[in-house]
Structures are given as structure tokens and as C-alpha cells.
């Protein structure tokens, strides 16, 4: 069933009796050409691009809970491509371009809103760094705009410009950045993949891999063995737990990142704002809540909830740049589990097992990467070679010294 | 989280800096280690869901490094030892 304005009107006039489930609930088959583990944004996007771009139709996505129940439903919904390094920027710009055409591609309203993102500048050194980053973005075909303090005062008059410690001196804007309705991304990809014949199998936990003579033959699951020509893992947050079943140790630690949303307010915040002197980012959802977050808690965790010191730190960041946020009441806060990699960048690569492929290490930047991650992983699974924008995301970069360390922090995951 | 420091008693975890797994104390022998050993030591992690032995540096206190055994699924701390003398009764 194709969604359209005409369909909405027709259903409104006929009592909404014609809507069908957006995807099927199939029983697992004995064998698929490709099995993807993880029904989150990245796994479902991979399935969609496998079916729509790479002509693969015997594909299954297996998910231990329900689709979209992990980090794709727990993030702060920001999309952007304001990266510096060569290994990253073409990939994230490819992702932003896919976001721009996503709703037509999926025939699904994901509420992609290019309301712009602005990184605030608080010192001369930071301006130099942001000018460099903006130039790197433009060289890679993205958009970037350096704004003066006066320009920002016009757009965001309520910010704390004259703070004694961190005055706002300007900003680097990416107008094509913005926000997306995060759950709709999972649902839209699931529906689009399902319509092309992909089986989405929920409540099906992978308990192991069947490997013979160094070749992966399929996955053992709570609903029995499922054979596969190739297996792709996209379970960021739990990557280490899953890949341990294939005998791998990963360059990844799992950390908890908290996010927050206030009560619904009238429109006050037109775009996405990030604080340059601390770690704080905020946008306003279409429902009116201010959605914001900051740093990871900084210690290994699988608990999906964080602790109070980071709550305090995030709220201090918010008060420092946007004092009016102190008048809003916090409605909800939650935590998600991040694959924090050793250089802060992701991995989309083969493994030492033939036919077993890995996608993970997204740190806390996985949401914006969803389309390109799915596309690049589909390319790798279908062609057995990396997509041109993801050639740097290899396991062996730690061995060969080709790390992609945007922040220059070294192998300390809680600092990325 | 409250970390029960063996010398100073219960302290707020915000006084500490988290340094990662206690496996980092098992540094490869520079005389015999291969580049592969260093790669594994520096970059690979067990990252378990459950009890995890990890290093916390008391930066805002006595600057000791502690080995904390903490469950990563609940954040419950089951034991705290001084890293320079693990297992010792203080």
C-alpha cells in the first residue's frame, strides 16, 4: 500500500478501515542470502538498500526485541555533516544527501527538517578551528557558513552572548543540518524493506554463529537455526557481546549517554544549537519539547541509565548558553548504550570469519549516519568490497596507524 | 555512584577519573612484546556485560588509583581495592 495525501482523504471518508500493518510478521525461513542481525536504524537501512539498490531480495533482519527499540529510538535526532577529517566528511555528507531524499525514497513521512545546526564559537582559537572545519566541509561538497556575533544575535536573541567566562563570538552554521523524527526512520526503513520482500523477524535473539572451516553458515537464534550466505551485524551498543560469540575482541567499550526532554513549549528555538565551550546540544521537537544532551557518563555501562553528575554537567551547559532553559520543566530523561570505539569513529568491515561482516563503533554519532551506514554496509554485503565513502572504516586501522580521531584524543574511548 | 575508598571511606564517583579496564595494568613486556601484543593491549577490550574490574583515579582526592569491581548492567560496586596492592586488607 502506497501512502499519499489522496489515500489519507479516502481513508478519512471511509472510516479508516483500509489501513494495513506497515510490515509483515513472517516466520523465519531456513535460509537467506543475507541475514542482518539488529533491527535498529542501521540494520533496517541496510536491508532497504540491499533490496532497493543492490537487488538482494532474499534478506532477513533478525531482532531480539522489537524493531527501533534501541538507540534509533533513544537519540537526540540531529542530522549534520560537519566533520573535519577525510575519512569521515565524505561519508557523513553522503548520509546528509540521503536524508534529503529519504522520504520520497521510502514513501514515508520521517519529518526530515533542515532547520540548520549552529556550533557556537567562544574564543579566537576556536574560530580558527571552526574556519578550518568549515573549509574542509566545503571542499567535500557540504555547506558551511561562518556567522558573526551580530548575525547570531538576530537569529537567536535569547542566547547568553555576554557571559563573562564564555562569551559568544560567532558560530559555524550548517543550514542543511537539522532534525528527523527518529522512530519514523526505523519504521520507514522497515516498511520500505518489507515491501521489497525483506523478512523482518522480531523477538528472535541470536545466540551464536555457525562457523565451519572459517566460513559463517548462519546464525543460531532463539527461534532456531537460520542459514545465510552472508551475515551482517549491526547491533551498536552490544557489539562486543555479539561478536564475542564469533571469537572476536573489539576496539570498543560500551558507554551510557543520557538525553533529556522538557515539557512541550511554544516554538522558541528555530534550529539546533551546540555549546562550544562545554558539551551541550539542544533542539526543539515538533511537539514542542526541548531535546538536549551532553557528554557520555564516561565509564563502561550496559545499564541504559546514567548518573547524576552528568545530569548536572549537562544542565550547567544549558544554563551557560541559554538561561531561559532554566524555566522549562524536565519531562523525561533516559540513557542509551554507545559503542565507543578507540578513535571515536565507526567500523564497517569484514571480519576474520568468511561471510561475517561488522557494522558498529558509532560512538554517539550513529543516528545521523543511519542512511549512509545502511548504504555502505549493503554495498559491503552485496559486493564484498567497501563503499567508496567508507573505505577508512576498517578494523585494521588501529594496527596500521590510520586512525580517524576527529578530536585527537587517542585510544581513550570516554574522551571522544 | 559511591565508591567505598579503602583508605578514605565512601566517596562520590565524581571525584574520580575513569581510566578503563584493569587489564591495562598487565602491560606487555617491552623486551619481548610484538607489535601485535601492543595492538591488543592498547586497542582491544573485553567490554563485558556484568562484573568488570576497572581503574578509577582519585584525582579530586588522595590521587590513588583504585581497582573497582562494578557490574556494568546495574552499576553496583562489589569491591574496591588499591591498585598498587590489590587484595590487601587495609
Sequence-distant (6+) residues with CB within 8 A of A54 are A378, A379, A381, A382, A383
Q: Evaluate whether A232 touches A42 at the Cβ level (below 8 Å).
A: no
Average pLDDT for A169-173:
98
Domains of chain A: 30-81+84-107+182-251+343-415 (3.50.50.60), 117-177+253-341 (3.30.9.10)
Residue A168 predicted with pLDDT over 80: yes
Residue A43 predicted with pLDDT over 90: yes
Taking CB atoms and an 8 Å cutoff, what residues of chain A touch B35? Answer: 399
Average pLDDT for A315-338:
96
Smallest Cα distance from B20 to chain A, Å:
7
Number of neighbouring beta carbons within 10 Å of residue A13: 8
Tell if the CB–CB gap between B1 and A307 is shorter than 8 Å: yes
pLDDT band at A416 (very low <50, low <70, confident <90, very high): confident
Q: Which of A95, A50, A47, A49 is CA-nearest to residue A67?
A: A47
Average pLDDT for A215-232:
98
The helix (H) or strand (E) run that includes residue B66 is strand B65-71
Q: By the CB < 8 Å criterion, does B42 face chain A?
A: yes
Sequence-distant (6+) residues with CB within 8 A of A199 are A24, A26, A28, A29, A32, A59, A60, A61
Q: What is the pLDDT of residues A98-151, one digit of tens each?
A: 999 999 999 999 999 999 999 999 999 999 999 999 999 999 999 999 999 999
Instruction: Provide the pLDDT for residue A234.
Output: 98
Q: What is the pLDDT of residues A243-279, one digit of tens each?
A: 999 999 999 999 999 999 999 999 999 999 999 999 9
Average pLDDT for B69-87:
93
Q: Are strands B9-12 and B2-5 parallel, antiparallel or unpaired?
A: antiparallel
Tell if the CB–CB gap between A300 and B73 is shorter than 8 Å: no
pLDDT band at B89 (very low <50, low <70, confident <90, very high): low
Tell if the CB–CB gap between A240 and B12 is shorter than 8 Å: no
Which among A300, A342, A398 has CB closest to B72?
A300
Q: What is the pLDDT of residues B1-32, one digit of tens each?
A: 999 999 999 999 999 999 999 999 999 999 99
Start-to-end CA distance of chain A, whole Å, equals 44
Q: How many CB pairs under 8 A join A and B?
A: 65
Taking CB atoms and an 8 Å cutoff, what residues of chain B touch A252? Answer: 45, 47
Q: What is the pLDDT of residues B35-57, one digit of tens each?
A: 999 999 999 999 999 999 999 99
Tell if the CB–CB gap between A252 and B45 is shorter than 8 Å: yes
Task: Specify burial of residue A56 (Cβ count, 10 A radius: 0-12, 13-18, 19+).
Answer: buried
Which among A249, A250, A303 has CB closest to B74?
A303
Instruction: Provide the pLDDT for residue B87.
Output: 72
Tell if the CB–CB gap between B42 and A299 is shorter than 8 Å: no
Q: Evaluate whether A60 touches A198 at the Cβ level (below 8 Å).
A: yes
pLDDT band at B90 (very low <50, low <70, confident <90, very high): low
Instruction: Provide the pLDDT for residue B86.
Output: 79
Q: What's the residue count for chain B?
A: 90
Residue among B3, B11, B24, B43 with most chain A CBs within 10 A, to mutate: B43
Give the CA radius of gyration of chain B.
14
Tell if the CB–CB gap between A411 and B75 is shorter than 8 Å: no
pLDDT band at A410 (very low <50, low <70, confident <90, very high): confident
Share of chain A above pLDDT 70, in %: 100
Residue A224 predicted with pLDDT over 80: yes
Residue A215, CB half-sphere, CA atoms under 13 Å: how many?
A: 6
Tell if the CB–CB gap between B44 and A240 is shorter than 8 Å: no
Q: Which residue does chain B place closest to A304, by CA atoms?
A: B73
Average pLDDT for A157-180:
96
Taking CB atoms and an 8 Å cutoff, what residues of chain B touch A299? Answer: 13, 18, 54, 70
- Strand partners of residue A359: A348
Domains of chain B: 2-82 (3.30.2270.10)
Number of neighbouring beta carbons within 10 Å of residue A304: 17
Residue A336 backbone class (left: φ over 0; alpha: ψ -120 to 50; beta: rest): beta
Residue A379 predicted with pLDDT over 90: yes
Give the CA radius of gyration of chain A.
21
Residue among A64, A258, A300, A316 with most chain B CBs within 10 A, to mutate: A300
- Strand partners of residue A121: A170
Average pLDDT, chain A: 96
Residue A207 predicted with pLDDT over 90: yes
Which among B45, B70, B75 has CB closest to A253?
B45
Amino acid at each position: 500500500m502506497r501512502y499519499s495525501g489522496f489515500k489519507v482523504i479516502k481513508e478519512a471518508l471511509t472510516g479508516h478501515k483500509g489501513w494495513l500493518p506497515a510490515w509483515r510478521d513472517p516466520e523465519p525461513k531456513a535460509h537467506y542470502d543475507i541475514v542482518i542481525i539488529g533491527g535498529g536504524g542501521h540494520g533496517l537501512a541496510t536491508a532497504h538498500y540491499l533490496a532497493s539498490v543492490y537487488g538482494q531480495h532474499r534478506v532477513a533482519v533478525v531482532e531480539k526485541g522489537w524493531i527501533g527499540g534501541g538507540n534509533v529510538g533513544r537519540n537526540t535526532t540531529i542530522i549534520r555533516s560537519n566533520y573535519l577529517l577525510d575519512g569521515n566528511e565524505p561519508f557523513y555528507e553522503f548520509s546528509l544527501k540521503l536524508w534529503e531524499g529519504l522520504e520520497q525514497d521510502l514513501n514515508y513521512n520521517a519529518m526530515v527538517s533542515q532547520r540548520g545546526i549552529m556550533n557556537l564559537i567562544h574564543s579566537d582559537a576556536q574560530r580558527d578551528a571552526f574556519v578550518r572545519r568549515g573549509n574542509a566541509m566545503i571542499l567535500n561538497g557540504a555547506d558551511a557558513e561562518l556567522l558573526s556575533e551580530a548575525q547570531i544575535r538576530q537569529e537567536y536573541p535569547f542566547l547568553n552572548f555576554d557571559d563573562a567566562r564564555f562569551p559568544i563570538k560567532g558560530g559555524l552554521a550548517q543550514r542543511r543540518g537539522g532534525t528527523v523524527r527518529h522512530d519514523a526512520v526505523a519504521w520507514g526503513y522497515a516498511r520500505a524493506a518489507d515491501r521489497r520482500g525483506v523478512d523482518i523477524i522480531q523477538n528472535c535473539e541470536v545466540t551464536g554463529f555457525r562457523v565451519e572451516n572459517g566460513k559463517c553458515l548462519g546464525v543460531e537464534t532463539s527461534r532456531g537455526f537460520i542459514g545465510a550466505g552472508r551475515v551482517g551485524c549491526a547491533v551498536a551498543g552490544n557489539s562486543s557481546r555479539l561478536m564475542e560469540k564469533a571469537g572476536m575482541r573489539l576496539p570498543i567499550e560500551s558507554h551510557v549517554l543520557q538525553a533529556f526532554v522538557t515539557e512541550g513549549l511554544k516554538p522558541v528555538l528555530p534550529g539546533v544549537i551546540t555549546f562550544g565551550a562545554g558539551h551541550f546540544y539542544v533542539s526543539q521537537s515538533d511537539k514542542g519539547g526541548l531535546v538536549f544532551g551532553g557528554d557520555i557518563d564516561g565509564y563502561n555501562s550496559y545499564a541504559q541509565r546514567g548518573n547524576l553528575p552528568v545530569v548536572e554537567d549537562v544542565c550547567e551547559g544549558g544554563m551557560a548558553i541559554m538561561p531561559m532553559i532554566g524555566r522549562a520543566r524536565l519531562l523525561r530523561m533516559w540513557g542509551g548504550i554507545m559503542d565507543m570505539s578507540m578513535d571515536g569513529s565507526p567500523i564497517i568491515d569484514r571480519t576474520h570469519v568468511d561471510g561475517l561482516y561488522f557494522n558498529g563503533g558509532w560512538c554517539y554519532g550513529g543516528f545521523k549516519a543511519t542512511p549512509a551506514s545502511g548504504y555502505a554496509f549493503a554495498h559491503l554485503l552485496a559486493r564484498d568490497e567497501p563503499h567508496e565513502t567508507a573505505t577508512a572504516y576498517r578494523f585494521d586501522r588501529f594496527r596500521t596507524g590510520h586512525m580517524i580521531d576527529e578530536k585527537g584524543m587517542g585510544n581513550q574511548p570516554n574522551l571522544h | 555512584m559511591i565508591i567505598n575508598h579503602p583508605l578514605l571511606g565512601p566517596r562520590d564517583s565524581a571525584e574520580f577519573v575513569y581510566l578503563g579496564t584493569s587489564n591495562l595494568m598487565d602491560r606487555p613486556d617491552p623486551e619481548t612484546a610484538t607489535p601485535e601484543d601492543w595492538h591488543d593491549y592498547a586497542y582491544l577490550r573485553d567490554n563485558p556485560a556484568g562484573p568488570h574490574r576497572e581503574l578509577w583515579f582519585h584525582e579530586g582526592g588522595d590521587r590513588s588509583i583504585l581497582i573497582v569491581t562494578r557490574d556494568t548492567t546495574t552499576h553496583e560496586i562489589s569491591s574496591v581495592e588499591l591498585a598498587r596492592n590489590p587484595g590487601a586488607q587495609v
